[in-house]
Every structure is written in structure tokens, then in C-alpha cells.
Amino acid sequence: MDSKVALVTGAARNLPAVIARELAAAGAAVAVNDITAEEELREVVRAIQEEGSRGMMVMADVCRRDQLEEIVAQVKGDLGTIDILVNSAGSFAGGSWLELPEESWDRVMDTNLKAIYLLTQLVAPDMKEKGWGRIINISAGSADYRNTSVYGLAKSALRFLTQSLALELGPAITVNAISPGQIAESAPDVSAFDTTLVERAIKHTPIGRLVTRREIARMVVLLCSPAFDSVTGQTIRMDGGWSIPRW
């Protein structure tokens, strides 16, 4: 991917940061975005540059079209037109529907859906002109369950949006989603509010462990490779078989 330029949203930490570094390791120039974590974003850029790739940071609220227009222009000016868009920013909110604040609904729906629609409008024309583009959305296992509140709703709708965009943007651009299960590196944080969740998740998972951030990041790179040229509109579940239907 030496000639490719990628933009990864929400990339100051956790899974998006690992995705950005993995794309850089594969040779892509990578722009990383976040809204507030400026110093952490600088660290990600430094890591990208240590991989021998070009990197830059672009601070912006992914729910604001005016700010997105600015960062797309910045990336174009510094790295070139965007070939790969990884939509990995996505706010979380849970709890009771009857007690869910309106602002939480708005933020979750906007970061997980509106941001993708806005960014796609901004980057797809250049991808189409070049005849090649990859859009990868990060969904979640929460989309499969009806007790995960507005977050699960947004991640479920994201799968619908992924398929719809794949129909509209082909053949030049493929659009896919990755749906991770519980991620190993996030297990300590999860255990803080549910001490049995991780143990139950591992017991329920056929491979006997949780998926790692690096494994998910590698799948992002694979989706950008010629091996996946014929794959579009798909949601790839990476949960070790946890979501397989059972009696």
C-alpha cells in the first residue's frame, strides 16, 4: 500500500490507533483524527513515522461538515487524495431507553452514522475518479442484541448503511464493515462494571479467547488488499464464533 493514503477517525487510542499503525506498517500514508486527545494523537503520528510512513494529525469533530471539509482538504494538501477511509470514531451510551438523555442519543447516532455519511460524500468523488477506494466501517457485536440501547441501534444501522453504500459506490469503491466482539485489551475496563462478563464471554467463544486489536487491524489491511477486491457490502464478524446462533 505504498501509494495509498488512509484516514482513520477516532484514532487517538485503543482499536483505531492500532488500525492506523497497522496501515502504516503496510506502507500507507496515514492521517489520524480525533476531537480532543491532541497529545495522544501526536504519539500515534510519531509511531506511524517510526514505521517509515508519512503521518499527520487532523483535529476535528466528525459530526461537523465544515470541520470535515477542512481536514479532508488538509490531508489532500499534505498526503494526497484519500484512498482508504476507516470510520472508527463512535461514541457509546447505554442504559435504559426511558432514562437516556437526548444529547446521548444525538452524539451516538451522529458519530456512528452521520459522520460516515458526511465523510463518504467528501472522499468518494476522488476515489471514483481514481478508480479505486476502500471504506471500512467499525460496527460491533452490540448490533446483534436488543438490550444494548442506542449504541446497539446505531451499530446495527451502520451495517445497513454499509450495504447501501456498497451498492451505490461500486465498482470502483468497496464498502465493508468489521464487527468485533469483546476485545481482549478492553477486558480490564469491562470487568470494572461487570466482573463476570469477560469470563462468560470466553466460555461462550469457540476459540476460547477474546479477539485482539491487532487481529482486527490486520483485517482492515486485508480488506484493502487485492485478495478482497470482490468483497463488498459485508459485515465481517470477528468474535471468535461468539455470535453463532445456539439453542
Which are the catalytic amino acids?
A: 151
Rounded Cα–Cα distance for residues 21 and 151 (Å):
26
Task: Output helix, strand, coil percentages for the chain, rounded to the nearest 5.
Answer: 50, 15, 30
| CA 243 centroid distance within chain | 20
Rounded Cα–Cα distance for residues 234 and 243 (Å):
16
201 exposed, middle or buried (CB, 10 Å; 0-12, 13-18, 19+)? Answer: buried
Amino acid identity at 103? E
Grid cell of 105 as nine digits: 442519543
What sign does the CA torsion over 186, 47, 30, 61 have?
Answer: positive
Tell me the helices (H) and strands (E) count for the chain, helix number first.
Answer: 9, 7
Q: Which of 122, 113, 108, 170 is nearest to 7 (CA)?
A: 122
Grid cell of 34 as nine digits: 480525533
Neighbours of 31 (CB within 10 A): 27
Rounded Cα–Cα distance for residues 95 and 151 (Å):
10
Nearby residues of 102 by Cβ (< 8 Å), 6 or more positions away: none
